[in-house]
Amino acid sequence: MSIASNLRNELDRAGLSVATVAAEIGAEPSSVRKYLSGKIRPSDRVLARLARCLDTTPEILKYGRPRRTSGKLTTDEVAAATGIDPLSLRIGCQRGVWPFGTAYKRPGSTQYTYEYDPAAVLRWVADRKAIARGGQNEESEPAQRPFGGVAD
């Protein structure tokens, strides 16, 4: 989905008018209408303001909400979103490497159960894209490396 359609979905979800959003982010209503129509793309700074106003995240405005409403993502879905192979995801979760997933054994079981946070997966993917384009994420903060530290 496009930013325009994601923005429309979040605007409807929040129940706010174009005029209210425009006043909240310090923009003209005509600019917000252009964002909604797709005529212009909001800058990352404006996208961050829109996200705060709509009580969502810039990642959701950029990439949309995860299609799964149950809140549970499979390892294969996370692998497709992150570009990390499933085995590395599982081992990383077992070792506490990934900030978006956990692994645990149920009592009496020898097998791990894996859980992934959809919002954290979106943030991680957005941070990787920010590093690839020069080290700035959507709110103009230094992008974080996967294992801590700030991108050069």
Cβ neighbours around 67 below 10 Å, total: 8
Which tens digits make up the pLDDT trace of 58-104? 878 887 776 654 568 889 888 888 889 999 999 999 999 999 999 99
- Rounded mean pLDDT of 113-131? 85
Q: Are 105 and 115 in contact (CB under 8 A)?
A: no
Per the structure, how many domains does the chain have? 2
Q: Is the domain of 75 the same as that of 15?
A: no
Work out the mean pLDDT of the chain and round it to a whole number: 82
User: Among 17, 34, 63, where does a domain finish?
Assistant: 63
Q: Is the domain of 99 the same as that of 32?
A: no
For the purposes of burial, counting CB atoms within 10 Å of the CB of 127, is it exposed (0-12), middle (13-18) or buried (19 or more)?
A: buried
Q: Are 118 and 78 in contact (CB under 8 A)?
A: no
Q: Identify the pLDDT of residue 96.
A: 92
pTM of the model: 0.50
Q: Is the domain of 126 the same as that of 107?
A: yes
For residue 122, what is the domain's CATH number? 1.10.1660
- CA 61 centroid distance within chain: 8
Q: Are 62 and 6 in contact (CB under 8 A)?
A: yes
For residue 53, the enclosing domain spans 3-63
Instruction: Evaluate if residue 127 carries a pLDDT over 80.
Output: yes
Q: Find which of 32-41, 48-57, 77-86, 125-134 is predicted with most confidence, using mean pLDDT.
A: 32-41
Q: Is the domain of 114 the same as that of 57?
A: no
- Rounded mean pLDDT of 34-44? 94
